Chain A
């Protein structure tokens, strides 16, 4: 009798252990960052201190831009409202510390994805929302139309703490040109110094040049040279160590891009529920259980498309219509000659 009792208790204990194990792993699925975000009721998002087209605040404090839209998409997915985002403007120097120290949960600040950043400093890049490259801006009156006309002694204004500083050295070294680097902490100071005539050229990502040109005292006096001297894939970043949160941000971005591929827009998203194409039905939540994998409901992707729009809408609204870069170039879908290609949502 005692023997059986012993076995019974050990069985009960084992079941209990198994049960707690499974409930715990379910809870673990709901990531710590996700839990905190839902508890706070807003997504904490790090953005730039003002880069038109990417992240820029208007006079009323409303943030717009394609980097801003990534954070809005995540807010729509996990909180149901794209406006529930708290934006923290960060300098290039502050951005990674703000993320690793837990002050923000997503860094969506035209940040270049590089090996050392991804592997070394506790960050994880989740994707690319803008394919960019470093370029040079000069005064039209200088008569320079190509970087091959650069001569020894040229002074170049740029930001500190960016890949730009490193690429600049690589570029001038490979051409054997002696140059004077003038590096500022804030983008506004770079623009002011270049505009004043302190530097002969201003170098940063081409999208940045196009955006900052709009801030100059006389934008028509400046041109961006045609050469691109580096690869700058820009994308959102999360803290290392929360793979569920990482997946949520990655697939929020992917959803926007794939929605454009299938022609789903903020206007027609609801109608697409009755589409014949199962891929479209999955994206608008009419088929499959995709949200469950992140601990979200099934309408998460529909909310992104309805509230923020697809990638094409975001690009048009923020970058094309504002006259920054009307031509999408490499940031066109792979089906239309660009290189935007995301894994399928299924």
Chain B
């Protein structure tokens, strides 16, 4: 009995203290808000927002609600995070492998990149890419076409828009290709387990993903044309491009700085992972006659991934959270649109900040769960 009490009392005290502290702050906030005539409530979310946002993935203007503005910000945050994570991962893997290269130049260049970009504060890098690099870009009227269709200007990157005919046929052909690839993979695995024969799955997959959509053009009547951006004059020295798709420079600068910064950390995770696999593994694999490619794919990577994934998850979370620095360069993410403009226009500080915090929490936990699921999948399966 005595033993149990000793266990429970400190925990009870901790819980009581936490509840009291939270209770005190809530009570205090309530009193203060009452004194100053501030109402608490989430009703404002359905009110008209009456401000516009520069860049949005869904249809939005000031006549929509604050909730719609919240969605605009959330989607922009997700967009920059997803693009950033993809680029950072690709770059990080390349640089991480390059750091282990026996080639002196490649090795040192990768090391220099990692040390340079991870040791400068991210906000400074964002400012550099936005303000310094932006100034170096030409005005729209002076921009040279890249490949004849792309225009990189101080007002953004203008790319041709695709105009599809029979897009659904093209879409189904891609779906069909993906299903075919999955079927072939399952079949190939079975063949290998039963007969020891190897089917060149990779080559077949590449072939399928190209040939099926190509067929849709020839047989399915799919057509594609480009809408090329055209220069338009607004005033004597003021021009923009019309038509096509425009990517704002804020998005480009933010994605670039986030991925260049995070890639350095991912590169270090990758290097640690590969170095963490015993040398004997590689030698043993080579001695049973596997090709260098097979050694990497079948022996090294599956073991290295187990070391790489958990710290890389942290980097993905960091990138997502760091995307909130967008507010500094006018990229309309969740913090700028919702915790910025909407907060100012409504004055609902507690409500908006709590929603924003909860949203980032949900985003981070989702990424975490997804990565943990993947980590479990590649972990050693004890049979």
For B36, B50, B237, B329, the residue with the greatest tally of chain A CB atoms inside 10 Å of its CB is B36
Pair A153/B54 contact, Cβ less than 8 Å: no
List residues 119-138 of chain B with CB under 8 A from any CB of chain A: 131, 134-135
Q: Say which residue of A117, A121, A189 sits within 8 Å of B38 (CB atoms).
A: A121
- Which of B200-208, B336-344, B369-377 is found at the contact surface with chain A? B336-344
Please, which residue of chain A has its CB at the minimum distance from the CB of B29?
A: A101
Pair A121/B50 contact, Cβ less than 8 Å: no
What residues of A have a CB within 8 angstroms of the CB of B332 in the complex?
Answer: 183
List residues 217-268 of chain A with CB under 8 A from any CB of chain B: 239-241
Shortest distance in angstroms between B1's beta carbon and chain A's nearest beta carbon?
A: 49
What residues of A have a CB within 8 angstroms of the CB of B139 in the complex?
Answer: 197
For the complex, is A143 an interface residue (Cβ under 8 Å from B)? yes
What residues of A have a CB within 8 angstroms of the CB of B53 in the complex?
Answer: 181
Pair A181/B52 contact, Cβ less than 8 Å: yes
Pair A241/B36 contact, Cβ less than 8 Å: yes
Tell me whether chain B's interface is mostly helix, strand or loop, or mixed: mixed
Pair B54/A181 contact, Cβ less than 8 Å: yes
- Which of A20-28, A92-100, A296-304, A311-319 is found at the contact surface with chain B? A92-100
Pair A155/B155 contact, Cβ less than 8 Å: yes
Pair B329/A184 contact, Cβ less than 8 Å: yes
Pair B237/A93 contact, Cβ less than 8 Å: no
Pair B155/A96 contact, Cβ less than 8 Å: no
For the complex, is B240 an interface residue (Cβ under 8 Å from A)? yes
Pair A142/B328 contact, Cβ less than 8 Å: no
- Which of B187-195, B228-236, B271-279 is found at the contact surface with chain A? B228-236
Would you list the 6 A-B pairs with minimal beta carbon distance, nearest first? A121-B347, A161-B344, A122-B36, A143-B236, A142-B235, A122-B38
Q: From known contacts A121-B38, A183-B336, A184-B329, infer whether A196 and B345 are also in contact, taking CB-CB under 8 Å.
A: no
Contact string against A for B residues 23-50, beta-carbon threshold 8 Å, 1 for contact and 0 otherwise: 0000000001101111000000000001
Pair B234/A161 contact, Cβ less than 8 Å: no
Pair A185/B234 contact, Cβ less than 8 Å: no
Within the assembled complex, what's the spacing in Å between the Cα atoms of A184 and B260? Answer: 23
Q: From known contacts A100-B36, A189-B328, infer whether A196 and B232 are also in contact, taking CB-CB under 8 Å.
A: no
- Which of A48-56, A68-76, A162-170, A203-211 is found at the contact surface with chain B? A162-170
Shortest distance in angstroms between B139's beta carbon and chain A's nearest beta carbon?
A: 6
Within the assembled complex, what's the spacing in Å between the Cα atoms of A185 and B344? Answer: 11
Pair A196/B134 contact, Cβ less than 8 Å: yes
Pair A144/B154 contact, Cβ less than 8 Å: no
Q: From known contacts A117-B347, A184-B329, A239-B36, infer whether A161 and B340 are also in contact, taking CB-CB under 8 Å.
A: yes
Shortest distance in angstroms between B7's beta carbon and chain A's nearest beta carbon?
A: 41
Q: Say which residue of B232, B235, B242, B349 sits within 8 Å of A149 (CB atoms).
A: B235
Pair A192/B131 contact, Cβ less than 8 Å: yes
For the complex, is B62 an interface residue (Cβ under 8 Å from A)? yes
Shortest distance in angstroms between B165's beta carbon and chain A's nearest beta carbon?
A: 28
Please, which residue of chain B has its CB at the minimum distance from the CB of A199?
A: B155
What residues of B have a CB within 8 angstroms of the CB of A150 in the complex?
Answer: 234
Shortest distance in angstroms between A104's beta carbon and chain B's nearest beta carbon?
A: 14
For the complex, is A287 an interface residue (Cβ under 8 Å from B)? no
Shortest distance in angstroms between A119's beta carbon and chain B's nearest beta carbon?
A: 8
List residues 109-150 of chain A with CB under 8 A from any CB of chain B: 116-117, 120-122, 138-139, 141-144, 149-150
